[in-house]
Amino acid sequence: MTFKQQSVAIIGAGPAGLMAAEIVSLAGIKVNVYDAMPSAGRKFLIAGKGGMNITHAEPFERLLSRYADKRAVLEPMLTDFPPQTLRNWVKDLGLDTFVGSSGRVFPTDMKAAPLLRTWLHRLKLHGVQFHMRHNWQGWTDSGELRFISLDEEKFVAADATVLALGGGSWPQLGSNGHWLPLLAERAIEIAPLKPANCGFEVSWSDYFRAKCAGSPLKSIRLSFAADGEVLSRVGELMLTEYGVEGGLIYAFSAPLREQIASHGSVSVSVDLCPDRDLANIQARLAKPRGKDSLANHLRKCLGLDAAKVALLREILSAEAMNDINILAEALKALTMTLSAARPLTEAISTAGGVSFNSLDCHLMLHRLPGVFCAGEMLDWEAPTGGYLLTACMATGRAAGLGAVNWLQSLRET
């Protein structure tokens, strides 16, 4: 008996979709990848512009903790495709990787383009066909996939479908969340999309905004209370016109966002001298200032740069700045109030999405047999540092395997 070759449609040509395409094509199944953008991996390329952070080399148990309340559901997929396996996969593409001082893993050339170019070439050698400028519009009554391409409506029949449509951040690169109503009308449970790895708003004065926007605050400790626990970390953030952004803020974006949602704002404590205790700071401030300005005195005795001094002046009164004890305490715990997360369209990534309650363990939708979901459109989030790409690849692989196994089961019935 002969069988018609089965086919899988993968909608979304980001890392999750491409990994699913690789898994399915290696099983000898015909794969067609559709994407609304003119070329594949647009967000992947932009995200890697400043250095392609592939994954993280920290102990696996610690890496799993980065996924917070979604750890349990992601753990089997991350166990099947852990960071070292991801590095080996990159090596198989002919590219070496290295571990940076922070534990982040990068290609040796730090670039995303060579990796994507080589990956796409290999997929095409496996028979994967790409259909760009295809904007998915859902399904027809008969179950065909509907697309709009160059103002023309197209219909596609597939034996299985993998949706890897991204979240709602960076809509100019294709992650615009347009799939939300298409799945909602099929009664798929979806958690509201929220900004993740985003900046937060602070009410700066016009003077401070003009003087300090774009200045980094290096080697500081950020602390705040959330659900009865004090969260604290040393790092760096960037002062912006609207408030603050950067790695230290991104690491706490989820609890900061939720605190603001619950209380309207959140106060954080900034330690501008995390390597000095209060007594040391007081002693240094008490040294004779001579003819030095306060800014120069702070620079000489404590190593404070202009941005840190300006932040002190922005938050403290002139009287407080000239009181050694108040100033010393502020240097160790300067209170800054964050009033709102920046809009979803500005965020690096997205929280919320297709609920795991809507999916089986192979990432197939209970209500739509043969339809699988992967990547950032699923309801999980993680900080920057390679965790986002790692989980996107792992869920893409899981969805691809799920599609292969489901099609195999159809052939056996």
Please, what is the average pLDDT of the chain? 95
Question: What residue spans in the chain does CATH classification 3.50.50.60 cover?
Answer: 7-196+349-412
* Amino acid at the residue 75: E
Spacing of C-alpha 220 from chain mean position: 23
Q: Is the pLDDT of residue 2 over 60?
A: no
CB–CB of 23/401 below 8 Å? yes
The crossing angle, in degrees rounded to 10, of helices 387-412 and 83-92 is 80
Model pTM above 0.85? yes
Q: Token digits for 44?
A: 């992947």
Convert the pLDDT of each residue in 97-150 to its tens digit.
999 988 999 999 999 999 999 999 999 999 999 999 999 999 999 999 999 999
Query: What are residue 58's phi and psi, to 5 degrees?
Result: -65, 165
pLDDT value of position 3: 56
DSSP state of 242: S
Q: For the chain, how many helices (H) and strands (E)? A: 16, 20
Query: What is the pLDDT, as a whole number, of residue 145?
Result: 98
Place of tokens 């993680």: 382
Instruction: List, for residues 205-236, the tens digit of each pLDDT value.
Output: 999 999 999 999 999 999 999 988 999 999 99
Alpha helices in 66-196 (DSSP H): 71-80, 83-92, 113-125, 180-184
Which of 55-59, 98-102, 187-191, 331-335 comes out lowest in average pLDDT?
98-102
Q: What is the mean pLDDT of residues 311-321?
A: 96
Q: What is the largest CA-CA distance in the chain?
A: 96
CB 182 within 8 A of CB 138: yes
Give the residues across from 229 on adjacent strands.
Answer: 226
Between the alpha carbon of residue 407 and those of residues 6, 145, 148, 404, 412, the distances in Å are: 8, 18, 27, 5, 9
DSSP string, 318-334: HHHHT-HHHHHHHHH-E
Question: What pairs with residue 15 in β-bridges?
Answer: none
Q: Would you say residue 412 has pLDDT above 90?
A: no
Instruction: Phi first, then psi: give them for residue 368, nearest 5 degrees.
Output: -135, 80
Looking up tokens 């099983």 gives 27
Q: What share of residues in the chain are helix, strand, coil (percent, to 5)? A: 40, 25, 35
Show Cβ contacts of residue 151 under 8 Å, excluding neighbours closer than 6 positions. Answer: none
- The rounded percent of the chain whose pLDDT value lies above 70 is 99
Residue 261 falls in which region: left (phi positive, over 0), alpha (psi -120 to 50) or beta: alpha
Q: Tokens in use for 144?
A: 């065909």
Checking if the pLDDT of 46 tops 90, the result is no
**What are the two backbone dihedrals, phi and then psi, of residue 297, each rounded to the nearest 5 degrees?**
-60, -45
Task: Report which of 211, 195, 189 is spatially closest to residue 349, judged by C-alpha positions.
Answer: 195
Residue 1 clears pLDDT 60, i.e. is over it: no
| Architecture label for domain 7-196+349-412 | 3-Layer(bba) Sandwich (3.50)
3-state secondary structure of 24: helix
Specify whether the CB–CB gap between 212 and 307 falls below 8 A: yes
Contact call for residues 339 and 260 (beta carbons, < 8 A): yes
Rounded to whole angstroms, the Cα distance separating 60 from 58 reads: 6
